[in-house]
Chains A and B, each alone.
Chain A
Amino acid sequence: MDSNTDLPYSFAVEYSGPPISHRSLPRALPIDISKIPVAAVVPVSRNSSKLLSSMPVVQPIVVSKLLGCNDTIVSPNSVISFNADKNCIGNGTGNGTGAETETTVSPGFEEQSSGEFSDMVNNRDGVGLGGRGESSGTLGFSDSFDKSREFSGNSLAFRACKESLDLNQQDWVSNGSGLSLSFEYPSSRVSSLKTGDCKDEPSFDRKNRLIGFGDIESETESFVDDIDIDVNINININININQGQPEAARVKKEPGVKTKKGVCYRCNKGNRFTEKEVCIVCNAKYCVNCVLRAMGSMPEGRKCVACIGYSIDESKRGNLGKCSRMLKRLLNNLEVRQVMKAEKLCAVNQLPPEYVCVNRKPLCHDELAILQSCPNPPKKLKPGNYWYDKVSGLWGKEGEKPSKIISPHLNVGAPIMPNASNGNTGVFINGREITKVELRMLQLSGVQCAGNPHFWVNDDGSYQEEGQKNTRGYIWGKAGTKLVCAVLSLPVPSKQVYPTGEQFSNTLGQSVPDYFDQIAPRKLLLVGCSGSGTSTIYKQAKILYKEIPFTDEERESIKFIIQSNFYSYLGILLEGCERFEDEALNNTGNQVSENDETVYSIPPRLKTFSDWLLKTMVAGNLEDIFTAATREYAPVVEELWNHPAMQATYKRRNELETLPSVSSYFLEQAAKILSTDYTPSDVDILYAEHVTSSNGLSTVDFSFPLSLDENNDKSEQHNSPRFQLIRVQARGFGENCKWLDMFEDVRVVIFCISLSDFDQYAVDANGNLVNKMLLNKKFFTSIVTHPTYEQMEFLLILNKFDVFEDQLERVPLTCCDWFSDFRPVVSRNSQNKNISSNNINHSPSMGQMASHYVAVKFKKLYASLTDRKLYVSVVKGLDPNSVDQTLKYAKEILEWDEEKPNFNFNEYTIYSSDSGSDS
């Protein structure tokens, strides 16, 4: 006990200074408290006659409680020492900063530790302790102690830091008063736990305060030291949780209480013959009365409430989804089906990929997904080491003969090793020395094996000798071979994949996508005010990355939209025409010309039609009568459009504010659009308005075409990452943006602004006419400062650069108040410095300078709001290349973001630490 205090491994050194009062503890708060479950009470084990060693129980504190105590005090003599490389918290440099040598213990630990205390470990094979948060009822954590009362040892040895946990039983009993008897032990990945000597309560309190969360509500003083110990445990767990890995909590759990054999773990009643349901994580058994209470709503199948989130006991994998009679009696069919479905399909119950080694390489998520979703997957994959011959599809356990022929050419695991199946025949197939059984099979099937040949065997069974071209034959070609294989229990290729594989494709077809949904796709949120061109960019993305951007039905409905748009353009023109006619008449004034004829007059026949059209438009039911109108009126409409009066009006279209600029694109091909067999082209769709805005939200899943640099991706992913572009229509979503917090899992927010808005005006929420650019700015500010998007990357798209350039020739940028200090001539130099323009040799055009200026304005605004960098891209929405580049830019932003040593997104640490300790 005393001996361990001076060990170099301790992560916290005992405090030996003068006693410190609780009140005077300085506060140090580097921790995001709300994220840290806080430990609670230590229950005591006391069933053995020996001196009991008792374990602290981790009880995560419910966050709401924590919220209440944001001002938690971390005492200076306490240290929460995290691994430095996890760069989390290194708060006090106080005397307690010991290096925490080891924070993660994964299954490997058990083997080692159980070796270490083989004598004290009781008969259970796992060493972890099941934890059940008494008060919180949420996650328990397992700690790698053995809970067996048998360790008489006052000392608990841990792997890395051989420190003893030495606790005086009496004190613990007193500490643990008020604990329920049905405690279970939590266990965690923490191995470095150091508690010193605690002969008496006060000294424990003073000396062993590793971490003091000063005022945790609802905890009594006497539990404080327990908390101290356990916080470390929790924090470590929490790191993993933060990383967003379902495997994070991959910790072995064991039920805390060793009850009498056969009794229910909850009510302690019954005998070994009463029917019981078993927790698939910790093996706890519950009787029919207790199972629903102990297992709650079973979000992950039959697990105790405390075991939720933990990976299952691998020995029970075969029972997943197989319901017991007892459960069927307790619950109705629908409920049983849901429980079993959850049990089979929930992510945490899936086979952990790193438990499967193929050719000595632990798999990653994607590889396992490939393996399980291939047409002919290995049956009932269990954790273990396997070899896989990618050329022929042969599959077997390491050191054994092949057991199955699975789909070949899967990009899974490492290259095969010559001694993979531990053969000693000297004959090689695809670089693997085959076993005697296989050699016998080859011989029997008539393959010449004299002289220890090296064969290449393809998946169809054709084989050739290494270095030769001609196929020598088909191994499984003869009917007899299959018989031989059956006798020697060697696999043969399954000719019909589907009959045998049907079941798999059924179950896996669901489970794999569901399970892997969590890592893909990456979401990009595209927002902008109305008219900012988000729909154009969305449509561009569809056209750029989808093989069939629009289905025939979509095109049909788009055709309808385009045609009805055309009518509304026409209506606007007609209104304008009337107005111009009035003006013309007024101008000609008193000299009443012959029959009030002006250039804008429309002949009576067309006039009736146009009046009717205007009337229906005003009534708002243009769309209702429209279908009939198309065919019937197409010639009239064409005539109307070609009439000089309309053409004259069209020439003055700049004066018609309501006429959108894209209208000319459609008006000018009136004949084509109005024909019944018109099919909109991609370009037409791109130009068309209202195609995507009918719904508030539209999404498109896409992946960028594979390029070279993606092949060098560290994870060697076969398929490039998938993206989902989510476009939300700002209009109709209100200024308060109630929907913003729904997109918290978005990775990049693409905010779209039309550059041409600077001289446009719109009516804001209060009914005032406001410059649209200022409205954009307001909307931008509200989104950037929204709590949901605090940590998100923003990409600003300055859209409609082409329109902007034209516009600048007519209107100076300074007409917008916000841009009043735009001094193109003066600022030219600084602008060039700020943004490296590609054509530095040419003097930048007005449009470029102005767009740079706007970009800088927004960047400054963004920096002042968030202290971060805003990514900006100037785009012409109608130009595919420019949109393509921008979306690729968004992808790059995402990749930079991932490469940052970021706690939350670093997906690989957990793999490496897990697999490292696994081996």
Chain B
Amino acid sequence: MQRSEMSSVAELKERHMAATETLTSLRQRLRERRLQLLDTDVATYARAQGKSPVSFGPTDLVCCRILQGHTGKVYSLDWTPEKNRIVSASQDGRLIVWNALTSQKTHAIKLPCAWVMTCAFSPTGQSVACGGLDSMCSIFNLSTPLEKDGNLPVSRTLSGHKGYVSTCQYVPDDDTHLITGSGDQACVLWDITTGLRTSVFGGEFQSGKTADVLSVSINGSNSRMFVSGSCDATARLWDTRVASRAVRTFYGHEGDVNSVKFFPDGNRFGTGSDDGTCRLFDIRTGHQLQVYSPQQQLQNGGNNNPNPDVTSIAFSISGRLLFASYSNGDCFVWDTLLAEVVLNLGTLQNSHESRVSCLGLAADGSALCTGSWDTSLKIWAFGGHRTVI
């Protein structure tokens, strides 16, 4: 019996090749079929319904705080859900926790590994997590007393990834669980109290060829579902109870998916990619709903630079606005309904001087924070006088 197995290696290889081919052809057919079914997109429909675009007054979104203090490129930021605090991670090897209202630092955490790529605030605001090229996710409890040398000790390290940790997010309303995405092509759900992996999503063994995970986003209304964006230009929807395979894979992008973010209603999610576009996908149908491509908007004709990469995205609370940051320092505010750019933060006063690497919306939606390679973070909010009702 073993013998027959051994002798069939070549045959297996052949079958594998054939299966791969079938798979690609099926995928192609699926794509074609989807295209046929796709008779409209959000913008076309909204226009047909006579929706008018959002308009911004001059003081509707202004830079009202500049958070200075990092000495390296800012790579990631996250808001606390309830209080107005921000954690940011930078190449100077520090995590800084900011009070967004006073624009002061409350903690500056020196990291054991300076090459940090991501950070996250826990739902209760008690602790922060970060991950980077050290392939680990480190948890810092902010209330831990400082060590003698003035550093905050690491309260827990989650190790097990075989590649860099590119993204991490706490499971909403659960301080003990965290999802990371990694360069080893897998996402992992961690139990922080034990420091062990609860489940592994994707990776080399389970789901065939994929690529580095760059971003994850957990569904706000159903925290069992999350999406991951990866270097193979796809986004995958996962159910944390079913680790073996992705619920659905979303094709469409032509470059690495740098950022994914669930739409506030939890039935859609947005993506931002190296191909310069943002897209909106529906998780129930698997369809792509809309492409947000600056090329259609801005005719930078003759510019042989292709679209700048989308580095990060965020939705407003209502979902009507999509904030997307670009590698050239722009930061567009998209009208999600009409797919029009309504504002470019990059042209406003006090805009960033370099790639905007990350952005995030405060939990109550009142402010947007952007982090940039120019080492600063900026908070954008309504700048005029609001009539108090």
Which A residues form the contact surface with B (CB < 8 A)?
62-64, 67-68, 135-137, 292, 296-299, 305, 308, 330-332, 334-335, 338-339, 341-342, 509-510, 578-579, 582, 620, 694-697, 728, 732-736, 738-739, 742, 765, 767
Q: Can you list 9 A-B contacts with CB-CB less than 8 angstroms, sorted by A residue number?
A: A137-B350, A296-B103, A334-B106, A335-B105, A335-B106, A697-B135, A736-B231, A739-B183, A742-B115
**Extra pairs beyond A297-B65, A578-B6 (8, CB < 8 Å):** A63-B354, A137-B350, A297-B105, A298-B104, A331-B102, A332-B106, A697-B135, A728-B133
Contact with A along B347-378 (1 / 0, CB 8 A): 10111111000000000000000000010000
Residues on A with beta carbons closer than 8 Å to the beta carbon of B133? 696-697, 728, 739, 742
User: A297, B98: Cβ atoms under 8 Å?
Assistant: yes
Given contacts A64-B329, A135-B349, A738-B214, contact A582 B105 (CB under 8 A): no
Partner of A696, one of B68, B104, B164, B352: B164
Are B134 and A697 in contact, with the CB atoms below 8 A? yes
Q: Which residue in chain B gives the minimum CB-CB distance to A305?
A: B66
B108 sits at the interface (CB 8 A): yes
* Distance in angstroms between the alpha carbons of A695 and B165 in the assembled complex: 11
Q: What B residues does A695 contact at CB under 8 A?
A: 134-136
Smallest CB separation, B332 vs chain A (Å): 14
Contact partners of A738 in chain B: CB under 8 A: 166, 183, 212, 214, 231, 256
Report yes or no: A510 in contact with B149, Cβ–Cβ below 8 A: yes
The one of B108, B136, B328, B329 in contact with A338, judged by C-beta atoms closer than 8 angstroms, is B108
Which of B333-357 touch A at CB < 8 Å?
346-347, 349-354
- Across the A-B interface, give the 10 residue pairs with the lowest CB-CB distance, nearest first: A732-B163, A63-B353, A335-B104, A338-B105, A299-B69, A299-B68, A734-B212, A334-B106, A297-B103, A697-B133
A69: shortest Cβ distance to chain B, in Å?
12
C-alpha spacing A283/B347, complex, angstroms: 33
Taking CB atoms, residues of chain B closer than 8 Å to A332 are 99, 106
Q: Does B2 count as interface, using CB distance less than 8 angstroms? A: yes
Q: How far is the CA of A299 from the CA of B104 in the complex (A)?
A: 9
Q: In the complex, A694→B160 CA distance in Å?
A: 9
Determine the distance from Cα of A199 to Cα of B176 in the docked complex, in whole angstroms: 72
The answer to whether B108 and A341 have CB atoms under 8 Å apart is yes
**What is the distance, in angstroms, from A321's C-beta to the closest C-beta of chain B?**
13
Confirm or deny: B20 has a beta carbon within 8 angstroms of a beta carbon on chain A. Answer: yes
Q: In the complex, A296→B103 CA distance in Å? A: 7
For B104, list chain A residues within 8 Å (CB).
292, 297-298, 331, 335, 338-339
A732–B211 Cα distance when bound, in Å, is 9
Would you call A338 and B183 a contact (CB within 8 A)? no
Bound-complex Cα distance A342 to B92 (A): 14
Closest residue of B by beta carbon distance from A698: B134
B194 within 8 A of A: no
Q: Does B7 contact A (CB under 8 A)?
A: yes
**Is B162 interfacial (CB-CB < 8 Å)?**
yes
User: What residues of chain A lie closer than 8 Å to B107, measured between beta carbons?
Assistant: 334, 338
Chain B 191-213 interface mask (CB, 8 Å, partner A; 1/0): 00000000000000100010110
Which chain B residue has the least Cβ–Cβ distance from A327?
A: B104
A67-B329, A736-B212 given; A297·B66 CB < 8 A: yes
Contact A297 B351 (CB under 8 A): no
Bound state CA distance, A728 and B135, in angstroms? 11
Contact status B115-A697, CB under 8 Å: yes
Residues of A within 8 A of B2 (CB): 578
**B3 interfacial by beta-carbon distance below 8 Å:** yes
State in angstroms the CA–CA spacing of A343 and B160 once bound together.
Answer: 39
Residues of B within 8 A of A578 (CB): 2, 6
A696-B183 in contact given A292-B102, A582-B6 (Cβ < 8 Å):
yes
> Complex formed: what's the CA distance from A738 to B328 in Å?
16
Assuming the contacts A67-B329, A578-B2, A696-B134, asked whether A739 and B115 have C-beta atoms less than 8 A apart, the reply is yes
Contact of B99 among A67, A296, A335 (CB under 8 A): A335
Residues of chain A lying within 8 A (CB to CB) of residue B162: 694, 696, 732
Residue of B nearest to A297 (CB): B103
A341 to B150, Cβ gap below 8 A?
yes
- For B289, the chain A residues whose CB sits under 8 A away are none
Residues of B within 8 A of A331 (CB): 102, 104
> Chain B nearest CB: distance from A331 CB in Å?
6
Query: A297 touching B349 by the CB < 8 A rule?
Result: no
Contact among B102, B135, B211 for A335, CB-based, below 8 A: B102
The minimal Cβ–Cβ distance linking A220 to chain B, given in whole angstroms, is 15
Interface on B for A, CB 8 Å cutoff?
A: 2-3, 6-7, 20, 65-69, 91, 98-99, 102-108, 113, 115, 117, 133-136, 149-150, 162-164, 166, 183-184, 205, 209, 211-212, 214, 231, 256, 274, 328-329, 346-347, 349-354, 374
Alpha-carbon distance A339/B105, docked complex (angstroms): 7
Contacts of B149 in A (CB 8 A): 509-510
Inter-chain contacts of B67 with A (CB < 8 A): 297
Q: Return the chain B residue nearest A61 by Cβ.
A: B353
Q: Is the Cβ of B184 less than 8 Å from the Cβ of A338?
A: no
Give complex CA distance A335, B166 in Å. Answer: 29
* Known contacts A510-B150, A582-B3; A734 and B231 CB within 8 A of each other: yes
Docked pose: A330 CA to B102 CA in angstroms: 9
A296-B68, A697-B133, A767-B209 known; A338 vs B346 contact (CB < 8 Å): no
Does A62 lie within 8 Å of B351, measured CB to CB?
Answer: yes
Closest to B116 in A: A742
CB–CB B66/A733 < 8 A: no
> Is B69 a contact of A297 with CB atoms below 8 Å?
yes
B9 to chain A, nearest CB (A): 10
CA distance A342 to B71 in the complex (A): 12
In Å, the complex CA distance between A579 and B5 comes to 11
Contact A697 B103 (CB under 8 A): no
Kindly identify which residue among A67, A68, A297, A767 contacts B20, using a CB–CB cutoff of 8 Å: A767
CA distance A136 to B205 in the complex (A): 52
Chain B residues with CB under 8 A of A330: 102
Q: CA separation between A728 and B115, bound complex, in Å?
A: 11
- Pick from A694, A735, A739 the residue with the most CB of B within 10 Å: A739
A557 to chain B, nearest CB (A): 13
- Contact between A338 and B106, CB atoms less than 8 A apart: yes
Q: Which residues of B contact A64 (CB under 8 A)?
A: 329, 346-347, 351-353
What's the least CB distance linking A316 to chain B, in Å? Answer: 20
Residues of B within 8 A of A297 (CB): 65-69, 98, 103-105
Give A136 to B349 CA distance when docked, in angstroms. 7
Kindly state the separation between the CA atoms of A67 and B166 in the bound complex, as whole angstroms.
Answer: 29
Assess the B328–A67 pair: CB atoms within 8 A.
yes
In the assembled complex, which residues on chain B have CB atoms less than 8 Å from the CB atom of A694? 135, 162
- In the complex the two chains form, what is the Cα distance from A361 to B336 in whole Å? 65
Q: Determine the chain B residues whose CB is within 8 A of the CB of A68 once the complex forms.
A: 347
Q: A736-B256, A742-B91 are in contact. Are A137 and B66 (CB under 8 A)?
A: yes
Q: In whole angstroms, how far apart are the Cα atoms of A582 and B108 in the complex?
A: 64
Bound state CA distance, A696 and B20, in angstroms?
A: 30
B353 touches A733 (CB 8 A): no
CB distance from A408 to the nearest CB of B (A): 28
State A63–B135 Cα separation when bound (angstroms): 34
Specify which chain B residues have a CB less than 8 angstroms from the CB of A339 in the assembled complex. Answer: 104-105
Residue from A137, A298, A308, A732 whose CB has the most chain B CB atoms within 10 Å: A732
What's the nearest-Cβ distance from chain B to residue A596, in Å? 11
For residue B276, give the distance in angstroms from its CB to the closest CB of chain A: 15
Bound-state CA distance A441–B133 (Å) is 62
Smallest CB gap from B115: residue in A: A742
Report Cα–Cα, A137/B66, bound state, in Å.
10
State in angstroms the CA–CA spacing of A510 and B149 once bound together. 7
Cβ distance A500 to chain B, nearest Cβ, rounded Å: 20
Residue of B with least CB distance to A136: B350
Contact A733 B102 (CB under 8 A): no
How long is the Cα–Cα vector from A778 to B50 in the complex, in angstroms?
51
**How far apart are A334's CB and chain B's nearest CB, in angstroms?**
4
**Assembly CA distance A728 to B329 (angstroms):** 28
Out of A342, A579, A767, which one reaches B6, CB within 8 Å?
A579
Residues of A within 8 A of B134 (CB): 695-697
Please report the C-alpha to C-alpha distance between residue A738 and residue B135 in the assembled complex, in whole angstroms: 14
Q: Cβ of B184 and Cβ of A732 under 8 Å apart? A: yes
- Is there contact, CB below 8 Å, between A696 and B135? yes
